[in-house]
Amino acid sequence: MGGTKNTTTRVGKASFGVSKCTRPARAGLKPDSPVNLDQGDPTMFEEYWRKNKESCDVVIGGSELMSYFSNPHIMCWYLLPELEDSIHRLHSLVGNVSTEGRHIIVGSGSTQLLQATLYALSANSPQPVSVVCAAPYYSCYPELADLLKSGLYKWEGDAYNFDKEGPYIELVTSPNNPDGYIRGPVVNRGDGKVVYDLAYYWPQYTAITHQLDHDIMLFTFSKSTGHAGSRIGWAIVKDEKVARKMLKFMEVMSIGVSKEAQFRAAKILGAICDGYEGFRPIDTENFFEYSKRLMIERWERLREVVNQSEIFSLPKFSQEYCLFSSEFTETHPSFAWLKCKEELKDAQSVLRGQKILARSGTKFGVDPTFARVSMVSREDVFNAFLERLSAPKGAVSNGNQA
Amino acid sequence: MGGTKNTTTRVGKASFGVSKCTRPARAGLKPDSPVNLDQGDPTMFEEYWRKNKESCDVVIGGSELMSYFSNPHIMCWYLLPELEDSIHRLHSLVGNVSTEGRHIIVGSGSTQLLQATLYALSANSPQPVSVVCAAPYYSCYPELADLLKSGLYKWEGDAYNFDKEGPYIELVTSPNNPDGYIRGPVVNRGDGKVVYDLAYYWPQYTAITHQLDHDIMLFTFSKSTGHAGSRIGWAIVKDEKVARKMLKFMEVMSIGVSKEAQFRAAKILGAICDGYEGFRPIDTENFFEYSKRLMIERWERLREVVNQSEIFSLPKFSQEYCLFSSEFTETHPSFAWLKCKEELKDAQSVLRGQKILARSGTKFGVDPTFARVSMVSREDVFNAFLERLSAPKGAVSNGNQA
């Protein structure tokens, strides 16, 4: 036992011996530093996994997971069987989508898979296929579609304004990033393909009202459990030809996906299922109850501050019956989509004046009276956000000039 | 101690508790199955890491490495500091390239970084920049450049035949995949950029004759240590603007790189350095001595079989002084570049007749009398390859008709 202990080394001091990943304590937020809520880094879930730290450890030996291949007998040859199992298991538990008989393609986050999808749906097209999404749309879509100036597909903006002839791909984000609303396609033409980005279709964010069964559905480890650093996403794909083309993209662009990340994702997703299946230690709250409770608390606190501010407003959501929790619940999105009074014009600037970094509505295809703020930061950062948002109005008007 | 043991579970049985990654034993090769040496899966190094298994374990707790960010104070914000350290340390030990004052950008294998490089060197170009490489070139380059029909860059084939005007990017693979030769650029015009793919510039494959210091140099964890499953590559970049554009590509395409894979790569690369710095257990051979010894042995055995076969020939390499090992040595490439007699016409078919799957010269931009065979398979597969290659000539001529 002493021997084991002696060979354990900490991060940053690589040496022959077991390396246990333990990060140094984070420095607290300084009063004059901006609160950065521009990105949606889902660090609020760290606390849950810290409580379950010991029981969710993964250990990988030096000679494990070395090959490019995981399973030569399935289409997605780099997919670890245990990750495939955990994905099926979690969706079956939550009931958010059907995975029965579907192809699962894993990527470096759903970001990479979205590109794989664009490629798969446009690979045989003589002209660039139009890519659209109803505004406000996720701010990364335009750049993701246009970065390489592909001759296969081209970003054409807001789906509500789309009137070009020819084939198109509509991205449907539901619940939507940035505003949290449940969505369906808006173009609805015969020559279109619809890709569902379901990153937030989990019980902590919204009611699970249907078991979805669309042609192409994308998920990510980042938003489901908070493990953004792993860069694991998965696509659930009905059509074999589409799945094969996505796989082609994954082969050419990165020859598969990190096995370490897959192994850990399999463990974490499996641990959530274990909890619901009675294998968990009894003093631990299950993940979706814990995370939903926190989201509700944060949203209640935010709505209180916003109601008092007289400057901002927030989207309103109706109660829906959740098949997973067997109760009525409303949506508690991962982002707050703040709208400032019309006369203030620029929500991002108003927030910047209060030392809050947000993302302007202009990045999402709408006007600058909107701004998006992450709701899934660490607790101290969220507290600082609310404090600053409830600052006296003098500070606000100063900020607006900044 | 008992508690720790009891909570340890094996792969495939996800449960609350530590999961230790241990793969099931591989089934042996069946006599009538083809020996697949088409890909260069570097599994021959598994044995070394198995010997060092315990001492190279990494342990990652459920709440670790969750954020998108690793280090907000460096350009490559997702790069784990311990991986950056290990990369500098290993190059300093081996002396193959200079990293002093260079930018390090990590990607999902050097495959993804090569695309990041193409993007970075062409992003402002009004016309597609020509991408070339001297034949025989790595078979994946053409598809990698052309998959998305980018308007920024375009594959233009063999650098020896390149006579188009305008800017170009020349890929220089050294030692070369498939043939193992040391290379330099061949176009040499003022309007060109050169990208060095140095995946095989390590002591087990070739003499380290110079400390290289080119503008853009690419490396991969796959070929340096054999950890292909991790999908970790790194670029060493001189120009800050180029590095920033590569980073932009990495942000848009996959929002960084798996932290688990980075953490493990940091550990393994660090462990190699530890060995040379005297921190290793004394019964263990250092990695580059071990792997070089194995490569030499395999090449000696292969040359013997090839010399007896009267069908194939192999490249010849001169002795060079290696600054790392302080001795004269020749190149022992990761691939055997077999040329069959002219009258047999198709090396891949000849090999297929002997139940050996190889990659045809046509994929590398040259004629089908060449074929590439991996030299870095597991021992039993390599033995089967040699056995089949030395099969009676009757079998060979049958094979040629297959």
Q: How many domains does chain B contain in total?
A: 2
CA distance A245 to A251: 10
Asked whether residue A379 falls in the same domain as residue A289, the answer is yes
Domain-ending residue, one of B215, B249, B275: B275
Residue B72 forms part of a structural domain? no
Residues A298 and A383 in one domain: yes
CA distance A143 to chain B (A): 7
| Spacing of C-alpha B170 from chain mean position | 19
B261 lies in the same domain as B168: yes
> Shortest CB distance from A16 goes to which of B55, B231, B253?
B55
The whole-number pLDDT of residue B11 equals 33
What torsion do the CA atoms of A224, A225, A228, A232 make, to the nearest 10 degrees? -60
Nearest beta carbon to residue A261 from set B151, B258, B269: B258
- The verdict on A213 and A294 lying in the same domain is no
A31: domain CATH number is 3.90.1150.10
Domain co-membership, B191 together with B315: no
Angle between helices A259-276 and B259-276 (to 10 degrees): 130
Q: Which positions in chain B touch A8 (Cβ < 8 Å)? A: 59
CA A285 to CA B16: how far, in whole Å?
A: 13
Look at B148 and A152 and tell me if their CB atoms are within 8 Å.
yes
Instruction: Report yes or no on A67 lying in a domain.
Output: no
Q: Do A325 and A240 belong together in one domain?
A: no
Q: Is residue B76 assigned to a domain?
A: no
CATH of the domain at B184: 3.40.640.10
Tell me, yes or no, whether A58 lies in a domain: no
B303 and B394 in a single domain? The answer is yes
CA distance A258 to B10: 19
User: Rounded CA gap, B233 and B113, in Å?
Assistant: 7
Task: Tell me: do A238 and A337 sit in the same domain.
Answer: no
Query: If we measure between CA atoms, which residue out of B151, B281, B270 comes closest to residue B221?
Result: B270
Q: Do A58 and B143 touch (CB under 8 A)?
A: no
Q: Is residue A59 a part of any domain in this protein? A: no
Say if the Cβ atoms of A53 and B43 lie within 8 Å. Answer: no
Whether residue A227 is contained in a domain is answered as yes
Based on the fold, state whether residues A170 and A311 are members of the same structural domain: no
Cβ pair B105, B257 in contact under 8 A = no
Residue A72 within a domain: no
- Distance from B286 to chain A by nearest Cα, in Å? 12
Cα–Cα distances (Å) from A357 to A384, A386, A388, in that order, read 12, 13, 11
Burial B170-192 (b: 16+ CB within 10 A, else e): bbbbbbbbbbbbbbebebeeeeb
Between CA B250 and CA B257 the distance in angstroms is 8
Record: contact B274-A148, CB cut-off 8 A = no
Indicate the pTM of the whole model: 0.93
Residues B192 and B220 in one domain: yes
pLDDT per position in chain B (402 positions), as tens? 233 322 232 333 344 577 888 776 677 778 889 999 999 999 999 999 998 876 799 999 999 999 999 988 889 999 999 999 999 999 999 999 999 999 999 999 999 999 999 999 999 899 999 999 999 999 999 999 999 999 999 999 999 999 999 999 999 999 999 999 999 999 999 999 999 999 999 999 999 999 999 999 999 999 999 999 999 999 999 999 999 999 999 999 999 999 999 999 999 999 999 999 876 665 678 999 999 999 999 999 999 999 998 899 999 999 999 999 999 999 999 999 999 999 999 999 999 999 999 999 999 999 999 999 999 999 999 999 999 999 865 544 444 433
From CA A240, how far away is CA A103, in angstroms rounded?
A: 7
Q: Distance between CA B260 and CA B254 in Å, rounded?
A: 15
Residues of B in contact with A64 (CB under 8 A): 21-23
- Give the end of a domain, one of B224, B254, B275: B275
A68 domain residue, yes or no: no
Chain A environment of B280 (Cβ under 8 Å): 16
For A294, the 3-state DSSP assignment is helix
Residue pointed to by tokens 């990293």: B99
A contacts of B86 (beta carbons < 8 Å): 14
**Which residues of B are less than 8 Å from A276 in CB distance?**
none
Question: Do B108 and B246 reside in the same domain of the chain?
Answer: yes
pLDDT by residue (tens digit) across A372-393? Answer: 999 999 999 999 999 999 986 5
Are B221 and B333 within one domain?
no
**Which one of A275, A306, A321 terminates a domain?**
A275
Task: Calculate mean pLDDT across residues A314-343.
Answer: 97
Please say whether the beta carbons of B233 and B106 come within 8 A: yes
| Element housing B338 (H / E) | strand B335-340
ipTM score assigned to the predicted complex:
0.93
Q: Residue B117's domain spans which residues?
A: 81-275
